[in-house]
Amino acid sequence: MEQLLAREGLTNVLSSTEPLRTLDLFNSFEPDLVVLDLHMPEFDGFAVLEQLNRRIPANDYLPIMVLTADATRDTRLRALALGARDFISKPLDALETMLRIWNLLETRALYKSLRKLVPPENIELL
């Protein structure tokens, strides 16, 4: 994944295969996107997803993309219900993965721009 991101010019990337380290990195780094594999040692990815979402302020939008070899309907629905904004199955298709990543990063950038113009308490969904 890091090589794929680097080929696309995304070089400000932090990664970890350890769930607790992932949570520590999240606390010390302000990411614009989290890509989370559901199969991790010690915790399952769902537990990490829940922990990440608890750390994202309610008035913020931080996309989390889940990737996994387990593409069952139940897994997809559970990940999305727990706050994942996108879901992609392994084996990864490089072009599809990057298109999804660029879309999520664009949405994040638009959200950050909007937040500068309109205070969060004035943003209302119709």
- Pairing relationship of beta strands 64-68 and 86-89 according to DSSP bridges: parallel
Q: What is the pLDDT of residues 81-109, one digit of tens each?
A: 999 999 999 999 999 999 999 999 999 99
| DSSP code per residue over 63-108 | -EEEEES---HHHHHHHHHTT-SEEEESSPPHHHHHHHHHHHHHHH
Domains belonging to the chain, first-starting first, are 2-117 (3.40.50.2300)
Q: What is the pLDDT of residues 38-54, one digit of tens each?
A: 987 777 889 999 999 99
State how far the Cα of 109 lies from the Cα of 80, in Å rounded to an integer.
Answer: 21
Q: What is the torsional sign of CA 115, 103, 62, 7?
A: negative
In the three-class reduction of DSSP (H, G, I as helix; E, B as strand; rest coil), residue 36 is classed as strand
